[in-house]
Amino acid sequence: MPSFDIVSKVDGQLLDNAVNVTRKEITNRFDFKDTPVEIDFNKKEYLLTLSTSDDMKMGQLIDVLINRANKQGISPDAFDLSKEPYPSGKVVKQEVSVRNGLKQEDAKKIVKIIKDAGLKVQAQIMDDMVRVTGKKIDDLQDAIRTCREAEIGIPLQYENMRS
């Protein structure tokens, strides 16, 4: 029976490359001259800690980071910018978590979207992914199209297609 998996993964190496390119670009930019800028990437927790002198520069730093990550193939939706920047001494810090893996509530949303579409497929949650099975590959492709059209708010990848 044909099947595929819906996952939400961010490649750690690509993210690390995006962070390194961002650091390099920021050191070369004139508006960041003589400004303390720090970007720490915790690879285990997929957490970025950004610090700079003020809120305006923080916004520019985040824009450069998202732009560089997008060029590396990482969706801007992967960055959780819900936490506000906070002052810490003479600098402003912000923690940006990177969404890696499907959370339970996101997986339930995906299953509900697929079931509400009335497709002839079955979707089941397996840890941090959703496995979709059906009798025909065309039905699976319809399920992929349905998930792409839905506004879920997280980047999705479709892998492990078996026939």
Q: Are strands 157-162 and 3-7 parallel, antiparallel or unpaired?
A: antiparallel
Give the whole-angstrom CA distance, residue 120 versus residue 146: 13
CATH class of 12-98: alpha beta
Q: Which of 147, 136, 141, 139 is nearest to 114 (CA)?
A: 147
CATH architecture of 3-8+102-162: 2-Layer Sandwich (3.30)
Under the banding of pLDDT at 50, 70 and 90, the label for residue 152 is confident
d(CA 69, CA 16): 9
Whether residue 153 is predicted with pLDDT greater than 90 in this model: the reply is no
Element (H, E) at 133: strand 129-134
**In this predicted model, what pLDDT tens digit does every residue of 67-83 receive, in sequence order?**
999 999 999 999 999 99
Q: Where are the domains of the chain?
A: 3-8+102-162, 12-98
pLDDT digits (tens, 9 = 90+) for 91-117: 999 999 999 889 999 999 999 999 999
Instruction: Give 103-132 as a 3 state SS string.
Output: CHHHHHHHHHHHHHCCCCEEEEEECCEEEE
Q: How far is CA 85 from CA 9, 27, 53, 105, in A?
A: 26, 21, 11, 26
Whole-prediction pTM: 0.86
pLDDT at 163: 81
For residues 39-43, give the mean pLDDT. 94
In this prediction, residue 159 carries a pLDDT of 93
Paired tokens of 135 = 């009798």
Q: Is 36 helix (H, G, I), strand (E, B) or coil?
A: coil
Q: What is the mean pLDDT of the chain?
A: 93
In the predicted structure, residue 26 carries a pLDDT above the cut 90: yes
